[in-house]
Amino acid sequence: MTAVTRAGYGDIAIYSTPGRECTIDLSDNINLWGPPPSALRAMQAVNGNSISRYPPAYEPSLRDALARHAGVAPGNIVAGCGSDDVLDCAMRAFAEPGDILCLPAPSFSMIPIFARTNGLVPVAVPLSGQLDADVDRMLATRARITYLCSPNNPTGETLSRDAVERIVDGAAGLVIIDQAYVEFGGESFTDLAVSGRVLVTRTMSKAFGLAGLRVGYGIGSPDIIAGILKARGPYRISGPAEAGAIAVLAKDQSWVAEHVTETIANRVRFRRELAQMGFEPLPSAANFVLVPVTNRAAVSLKLYDAGIGVRELRALPGIGDALRIGIGPWHLMERCLAALAGTA
Ligand SMILES: *Cc1c(COP(=O)(O)O)cnc(C)c1O
């Protein structure tokens, strides 16, 4: 048989979500209250033209709305088909095949995969004992791209400004700061994104409740934005997705803020109840909580039997096995707590 596959792709797995059905899915950190009403209305009002015609090539109206939201100029914004797309394009735009991409461990599971599909070599540096970035070891990799995530997925903890600034100052190439969960806590690093070597990414998939529309964005200097647009190409945001995202940014900021507030309250309460049951959940600034477990298989079986899906993580550096549990309306968290009873 002729080899048609690209070198290095043989051992990259196709992303798979857990096969088992669950009635309560707390596994993927989306907004569990559902879509914001203005997005639903925008979808129902979709004009035939936005289906039969190409959308604007580089979505100027969406970039204007995102820029206003982020407090930067439209020239500092690039949108993508989810922030995954922005991250993937940045790897293509700012590193050559064979270059190193440095990331903390544990961190966002897609990053080593995007690195490898772009021909880069992912080098994972364990977080420090305080779950902050290990600045010296990360800088010592001389990576062409350094990836940071704050609040970090899956730990939920934030990186310190001191660590982030030292990495930005000392890095050999682009620094990506993934802030997919910034609405739920921790500091915004958007101020660093104007420096010309930093890309901050954010998404409409989590706090904004639009995971299905696939809209994410990056914030950076005009040169960074231009590089990503080249790697990305035109027409990446569908017309209906652009309309939905603009509607939410214009009309549903208070809907988003209310659910963020409720998420934070439920997160505090959920962690407190877990602790009372004997678990030791990590502190979280995100819309999920990481719960180390020593009997992962038994605990997840109980959750599955109760129809509850969570994200199982194995042998995380410095943490061990753990469950990442998304935070939603309290009646869902109660069901999760009931299923966990007696398993700590
Ligand atoms: C969910 C998530 C994303 C990306 O989500 P999109 O839906 O592609 O915007 C990016 N980074 C982290 C850390 C995430 O958890």
Cross-strand bridge partners of residue 146 = 102, 175
Choose which residue among 27, 78, 83, 152 to substitute to test ligand 1 binding: the one with the highest number of ligand atoms within 8 A of its C-beta.
Answer: 83
For the segment 214-233, the average pLDDT, to the nearest whole number, is 98
For the segment 43-53, the average pLDDT, to the nearest whole number, is 93
Q: Check pocket membership of 180 for ligand 1, CB cut-off 6 A.
A: yes
Q: Check pocket membership of 110 for ligand 1, CB cut-off 6 A.
A: no
Kindly indicate the confidence band of residue 268, based on its pLDDT and cuts at 50, 70 and 90: very high
Kindly indicate the confidence band of residue 282, based on its pLDDT and cuts at 50, 70 and 90: very high
Q: What's the pTM value of the predicted model, to 2 decimals?
A: 0.97
Find the 7 Cα to ligand 1 centroid distance in Å. 27
Kindly indicate the confidence band of residue 234, based on its pLDDT and cuts at 50, 70 and 90: very high
Find the 82 Cα to ligand 1 centroid distance in Å. 7
Predicted pLDDT at 1: 54
How buried is residue 1: exposed, middle or buried, by Cβ count under 10 Å (0-12/13-18/19+)? exposed
Q: Check pocket membership of 106 for ligand 1, CB cut-off 6 A.
A: no
Predicted pLDDT at 344: 86
How buried is residue 2: exposed, middle or buried, by Cβ count under 10 Å (0-12/13-18/19+)? exposed
Residue 218: other Cβ atoms inside 10 A? 28
Residue 3 has pLDDT above 80, yes or no: no
For the segment 284-306, the average pLDDT, to the nearest whole number, is 94
For the segment 309-330, the average pLDDT, to the nearest whole number, is 96
SS (H, E, C) 145-190: EEEEECCCCCCCCCCCHHHHHHHHHHCCCEEEEECCCHHHCCCCCH
Q: Which protein residue's CA is at the shortest distance from atom 1 of ligand 1?
A: 180
Q: Check pocket membership of 216 for ligand 1, CB cut-off 6 A.
A: yes
Residue 148 has pLDDT above 70, yes or no: yes
Q: Are the C-beta atoms of 313 and 297 separated by less than 8 Å?
A: no
For the segment 250-260, the average pLDDT, to the nearest whole number, is 98
- Residue 235 CA neighbour count, 13 Å, CB half: 5
SS3 category, 90: helix
pLDDT, tens digit, 9 for 90 and up, residues 318-328:
999 999 999 99
Kindly indicate the confidence band of residue 7, based on its pLDDT and cuts at 50, 70 and 90: confident
Q: Check pocket membership of 205 for ligand 1, CB cut-off 6 A.
A: yes
Pull the structure tokens for residue 339. Answer: 């299923």
Kindly indicate the confidence band of residue 11, based on its pLDDT and cuts at 50, 70 and 90: confident
Average pLDDT over all residues of the chain: 96
Q: Check pocket membership of 108 for ligand 1, CB cut-off 6 A.
A: yes
